[in-house]
Amino acid sequence: MSARPRVVVLGGGFAGLEGCFYARWKLGERAELTLVSDTDHFVFRPNTIYIPFGAPPEKFLIPLEEPTRKGNIRFIRSSVRGVDPDRRVVELEQGPVEYDYLLIATGADMRPDEIPGLREHGITPWTIDDMLRIRDALQQTAQRAKEGKHTQFVFVIPPNNRCSGPLYELVLMIDTWLRREGIRDQVSLVWTTVEEGYIQAFGPRLNTVVEEEFSERGIEGHRGWVVSHVEPGKVHYTNGEAVAFDYLLCFPPYVAARRYELLPVDERGFLQVESDSRRVQGREREFAAGDAANFPIKQAFLALLQADAAADHIAADVAGEQPSVRFEPMSMCIMEEMNKATFATVPLRYTDDPLKPVTVDEERAGEYRVGVSPLWRVGKKILGVYLPWRFSHAQPFHAGLAWDAMDLGLKVLSKVLAK
């Protein structure tokens, strides 16, 4: 190892930035930090759901140059090609970089081609451009309504999707938007999901919330429908059903954004890690966090928790101390509906069922809290300010006095507005 250990972080998303800033916060200048990303900005993806309704896309981007400079972190803008763990070298498009500790956080990607016809005929909400396509669809729907024409939107959650929540946000937000535009009765919203329960990963209470919302809002919902293929204007399911659409919004199946051939990965390229530490299985110095790793639910909040655990283990190794943070699978989400929002904290545990690898942890039932209120929209807005503020100042989300205050505020709100 060189005089100061070299910690290299791959990926400038939630897990990468949190891991980088947490390591700097914990270690000070005792390590050399390098961040590699193929883009020069961070995308606050959870809040891109506001773009279809008029929010400017640039509002959700944080340039990486300034926070990395503030954190004394070397920033390399380049695409990662692979990792040679035995030589401790990352292969970048622009050449090799050596490391002593590596945190891989290159995230997930979507693979629409697993569903024939989806790429050609559907919208797959993932990038800012996709959100702008939904904005166009809504504008065209308003125009069609003026001309007395009916429009049908169909929403699809397919197998191997790992984060269904945002599509639920979009259908509920679109419903609210159509009502505000006074054109809801000229639009049908049809929801189909492979899940047995709505937002299945988050347990029965979220299913009930969505059932009630769908029934109140007149959204037609179908659970246990598996999409098979899409043709122009019609989506087909393995149960023989077919639904016509003017617009199809489908979250495609997930795969790892980059497959690391020399490290243990599952069939979709997600890195196999030890649960507590996020250390890559069978390796000493390589860690993975966020969507790139094999936790079955892909979520920003979980990505941050994983990055904290990984960075804490790296920092402890460097400092010759015991790690103090381990990854505990506890999800937290605020689901926007535009007139109100649903808040949930969901303690999760692993199962042996490959079709349902995590479930709500009944032993921690007291921590399973759900609440629906317009005030939760304020909570979502505060998180939307807090996280960019922390990252812009090279500070981790989950650390220090600011997080203690934020955490306390969420706990108080949750006591009053959730049960």
From candidates 105, 201, 311, 344, binder to ligand FAD by CB under 6 A: 105
Distance in angstroms (rounded) separating the CA atoms of residues 27 and 33: 10
Of residues 36 and 138, the one with the C-beta less far from ligand FAD: 36
From candidates 303, 309, 348, 413, binder to ligand FAD by CB under 6 A: 303
Of residues 290 and 396, the one with the C-beta less far from ligand FAD: 290
Q: Is 298 in the site for ligand FAD (CB under 6 A)?
A: yes
From candidates 76, 206, 309, 333, binder to ligand FAD by CB under 6 A: 333
Q: Which two tokens stand for residue 55?
A: 């929010």
Q: Which two tokens stand for residue 115?
A: 């569903």
Q: How many CB atoms lie within 10 A of CB 347?
A: 19
Q: How many CB atoms lie within 10 A of CB 274?
A: 16
Q: At what angle do helices 128-146 and 165-181 cross, to 10 degrees?
A: 30
Of residues 16 and 122, the one with the C-beta less far from ligand FAD: 16
**Dihedral of the alpha carbons of 268, 270, 273, 278, in degrees to the nearest 10:** -160
CB of 100 to ligand FAD, least distance (A): 20
The residue among 238, 234, 256, 257 whose CA lies nearest residue 117 is: 234
**Dihedral of the alpha carbons of 331, 226, 184, 50, in degrees to the nearest 10:** 40
129: Cβ–Cβ under 8 A, 6 or more apart, which residues? none
Stretch that binds ligand FAD, among 176-184, 197-205, 266-274, 288-296 (CB under 6 A): 288-296
Burial 76-107 (b: 16+ CB within 10 A, else e): bbbebeebebeebbbbbeeeebebbbbbbbbb
Q: Is 290 in the site for ligand FAD (CB under 6 A)?
A: yes
From candidates 6, 9, 12, 22, binder to ligand FAD by CB under 6 A: 12
Stretch that binds ligand FAD, among 149-157, 209-217, 232-240, 289-297 (CB under 6 A): 289-297
**Dihedral of the alpha carbons of 344, 280, 111, 358, in degrees to the nearest 10:** -40
Chain positions 342 to 371 lying near ligand FAD, rule: CB under 6 A, are none
CB of 299 to ligand FAD, least distance (A): 4
**Dihedral of the alpha carbons of 25, 28, 31, 32, in degrees to the nearest 10:** 80
- Encoded one letter per residue, x for contact with ligand FAD by CB under 6 A and - for no contact, window 128-167 reads -----------------------------------x--x-
CB of 46 to ligand FAD, least distance (A): 3
Chain positions 16 to 55 lying near ligand FAD, rule: CB under 6 A, are 16, 36-39, 45-46, 48-49
Residue 395 φ then ψ, to 5°: -115, 145
Distance in angstroms (rounded) separating the CA atoms of residues 132 and 12: 23
Q: Is 327 in the site for ligand FAD (CB under 6 A)?
A: no
Element (H, E) at 153: strand 151-157
Q: Is 79 in the site for ligand FAD (CB under 6 A)?
A: yes
Chain positions 162 to 191 lying near ligand FAD, rule: CB under 6 A, are 163, 166
Q: Is 80 in the site for ligand FAD (CB under 6 A)?
A: yes
- Encoded one letter per residue, x for contact with ligand FAD by CB under 6 A and - for no contact, window 237-276 reads --------------------xx------------------
Question: Are the CB atoms for 2 and 22 separated by under 8 Å?
Answer: no
Q: Is 339 in the site for ligand FAD (CB under 6 A)?
A: no
Question: Are the CB atoms for 8 and 99 separated by under 8 Å?
Answer: yes
CB of 220 to ligand FAD, least distance (A): 22
From candidates 5, 52, 71, 107, binder to ligand FAD by CB under 6 A: 107
The residue among 271, 364, 221 whose CA lies nearest residue 82 is: 271
Of residues 16 and 379, the one with the C-beta less far from ligand FAD: 16
Q: How many residues does the chain have?
A: 419
Backbone CA torsion sign across 163, 168, 171, 177:
negative
Stretch that binds ligand FAD, among 9-17, 171-179, 202-210, 211-219 (CB under 6 A): 9-17
Distance in angstroms (rounded) separating the CA atoms of residues 26 and 43: 25
Point out which residues bind ligand FAD (CB under 6 A): 10-16, 36-39, 45-46, 48-49, 79-80, 105-107, 125-126, 163, 166, 257-258, 290-292, 298-301, 303, 333
